[in-house]
Chains A and B, each alone.
Chain A
Amino acid sequence: MNEHDKGHIVPYATLVAVWAALLTLTIMTVAASRIDLGALNIWVALVIACSKSVLVIGFFMHMKYENRLFRLFLLVAVVTLTVFIGFTFFDVLYR
């Protein structure tokens, strides 16, 4: 039982590739912030930050290799946060 629980060994090459992708995305987010896109700037920054999060959670935190229960929990947390943020803005924007 325990042997299977311990899970997957992620090779060094995969981890280094993820790290390289994260650095590339960091450079992209700095470059994108130097271009004036108006209100879009913040959305570009958030999309890049979310992509970086997916890489960190998926590979570094092994979420890609965990069972479905973990992903369900993650989904619940993300949805909760989204509802918090969404409802706060209903209040702030339409006051």
Chain B
Amino acid sequence: MSESSPATQAAHPKDYTGAKLGMWLFLFTEVLLFGGLFILYAVYLQRYPEGFRLGGEQLNVWFGGGNTLVLLTSSLSVAMAITALQRGRVRQTMGLVGVTVAMAFCFLVNKYFEWSAKIHHGIYPSSPQLKELPAGEQVFFSIYYLTTGLHGIHVLVGMVMMGWVLLLIRRGKVNPEDYVTLENAGLYWHLVDLIWIFIFPLYYLIL
């Protein structure tokens, strides 16, 4: 503890390790939440391998691959934003967080087009057309909508959170001396990326 600034210490009693550990604990609950959905996936894949193969073939690899590229790049930009702020480059940080927000938006636009195309073809939970299909495909699309939908909500939350952090940086509330809020928002964003890293091969690439 620096003896020179007891006033700032008292005004901002920040415990970085504690703040980040708290965020990690929250992220573990998220991992267990999505883990439940992946267990569901694994059990039904074992029961209906053929239905899952047919379902997976109907998903567009270009949408999934494009969104993988978008999320990996947005993870890079937020990781770089933390480095930039640690080095005291505030304008650069704001640019990088801005890129992350834009990438998150891109992801959601992609998802919108992807889902619309599927729904347009009559494939959505309990649609008449889906009810005609074999049980395996029905289960595949139900879990697909549930998992990617929940993931999409996380992307939306992450995007709003990044926008909020951008505002805090602009106001100087998050700055080169105090940036744990950006780090924690970044951790959340990386988790969203991590979950997609598993969704992409399991849903889009299964053969």
Identify the A interface with B (CB < 8 A).
1-3, 5-7, 9-12, 15-16, 18-19, 22-23, 26, 29-30, 33-34, 36, 41-42, 45-46, 48-49, 52-53, 56-57, 59-62, 66-67, 69-70, 73-74, 76-77, 80-81, 84-85, 88-89, 92-93
Contact = CB atoms under 8 A, between A and B. Distances in A.
Contact of B190 (A30, A60, A74): A60
B80 interface: yes
B79 interface: yes
Interface of B: 1-2, 14-17, 20-21, 24-25, 28, 31-32, 35-36, 38-39, 42-43, 45-47, 61, 65, 68-69, 72-73, 75-76, 78-80, 82-83, 86-87, 179, 183, 186-187, 190, 193-194, 197-198, 200-202, 205-207
Nearest to B64: A30
Given A3-B2, A41-B206, A70-B24, A60 B76 contact: yes
B1 A15 contact: no
Contacts of B190: 56-57, 60-61
B17 A85 contact: no
What 4 A-B pairs have minimum CB-CB distances, sorted nearest first? Answer: A33-B205, A45-B201, A5-B16, A77-B28
